[in-house]
Amino acid sequence: MTSNRTTPLSGVSMTALGVALIRARESEREDALYDDFCAHAFAEAARDAFLDPGAPAGAARQWAQVEGLVDRFYEGRTVGVRAVDDRVQAWVDGGGRQLVMVGAGLDTRAFRMGLPADLRWFEIDVPEMFEFKEPVLAGVDARPTCARRVVAVDLRADWESALLAAGYDPEVPTAWVDEGAIPYLAHEDATEVAATITRLSAPGSEFGTVHVEVDETEQRYRDLTRLVTTEAEQRPVVRGLGSRARDWWDNHGWRTEFRGWNEITEPYGRRAESTGDGGNGVLHAVRHG
């Protein structure tokens, strides 16, 4: 399968491609934690584009870097995918019927989890992401089982209006899922996204996001940063909600809990290394009235 785009994704969006490759690899295992039939199509389309003779100079080298980073992040990231699967399933099993993927990337849960038809599923990401994603999904005749709606807008723009225009109902309790988009944003932008989520959340809504403290001098993180950011973007800047993210949510109408990485991953029986000083895990928040 070949993409129409010369280089399907670039910048931070390439992290979504890396996760898709991880999901493709996991799906091939006999003891797979999940089965993502779409992930292989993303991998093939991207590989064809990056290795195309007409691709820009350096594209083949970038593809090799992506594959190398997949090897180094696989164990932890694949377990993280399953953990979010389980959180989504728990929300649906509890009666939740509206969910928003913040920075959806190449997520395919709407297609692979057998979610109910009356679940309104919104995916927010930059237009370039969906320009690559949607043709690939169509090429494998992937069909969502729930009411999936694409919201092609940058989180740094007026995504609230775009989400409402897509049919989002702020009066309905909603699960918000962030697998790492907000921590990439500059602090001011991340704070605005969090404030917008709060404004749009009815009582009983849930928000979940990863919280990772890493050793930025570790080689794999240095390589990842060089791959997905420009030299200017690598200058020191506060990203996400910072070290006091939990305080922010607690002070803005949410009840929070934090589960450490080892606690989350233990039920899956996989070696999923934790980095940092023990502050890695998932922040879960519930909107109170």
Q: Write down the domain spans for the chain.
A: 75-287
pLDDT of residue 52: 81
The percentage of the chain sitting over the pLDDT mark of 70, rounded to a whole number, equals 83
Regarding pTM above 0.95, the answer is no
pLDDT of residue 214: 47
The percentage of the chain sitting over the pLDDT mark of 90, rounded to a whole number, equals 60
pLDDT of residue 5: 46
Lowest-confidence range among 6-20, 60-74, 100-114? Answer: 6-20
Residue 241 exposed, middle or buried by CB count within 10 Å (0-12, 13-18, 19+)? buried
pLDDT of residue 270: 86
Q: Please state, in angstroms and rounded to a whole number, the distance separating the CA atoms of residues 119 and 92.
A: 8
Lowest-confidence range among 86-100, 117-131, 136-150, 232-246? Answer: 232-246
**Tens-place pLDDT, residues 19-61:** 999 999 999 999 999 999 999 999 999 888 878 887 777 778 8
Predicted confidence (pLDDT) at residue 278 exceeds the cutoff of 70: no
pLDDT of residue 89: 98
**Tens-place pLDDT, residues 218-260:** 554 455 455 455 444 444 456 788 878 999 999 999 999 999 8
Cβ distance 275 to 214 under 8 Å? yes
Q: Please state, in angstroms and rounded to a whole number, the distance separating the CA atoms of residues 261 and 256.
A: 16
Mean pLDDT score across all residues of the chain? 86
Strand partners, 246: none
Amino acid at 2: T
Q: Please state, in angstroms and rounded to a whole number, the distance separating the CA atoms of residues 130 and 95.
A: 29
Cβ distance 281 to 227 under 8 Å? no
- 75-287 maps to CATH 3.90.1170.20: no
Predicted confidence (pLDDT) at residue 197 exceeds the cutoff of 50: yes
pLDDT of residue 216: 53
Closest Cα to residue 288, out of 179, 208, 203, 187? 203
DSSP string across the chain: ---SSSSS--GGGHHHHHHHHHHHHHHTSTT-S---TTHHHHHHHHHHHHH-TTSPTTHHHHHHHHHHHHHHHHHHHHHHHHHHHHHHHHHHHTT--EEEEET-TT--HHHHS---TT-EEEEEE-HHHHHHHHHHHHHTT---SSEEEEEE--TTS-HHHHHHHTT--TTS--EEEESSSGGGSBHHHHHHHHHHHHHTPPTT-EEEEEE----TTSHHHHHHHHHHS-TGGGS---BTTGGGHHHHHHTTTEEEEEEEHHHHHGGGT------TTS--EEEEEEE--
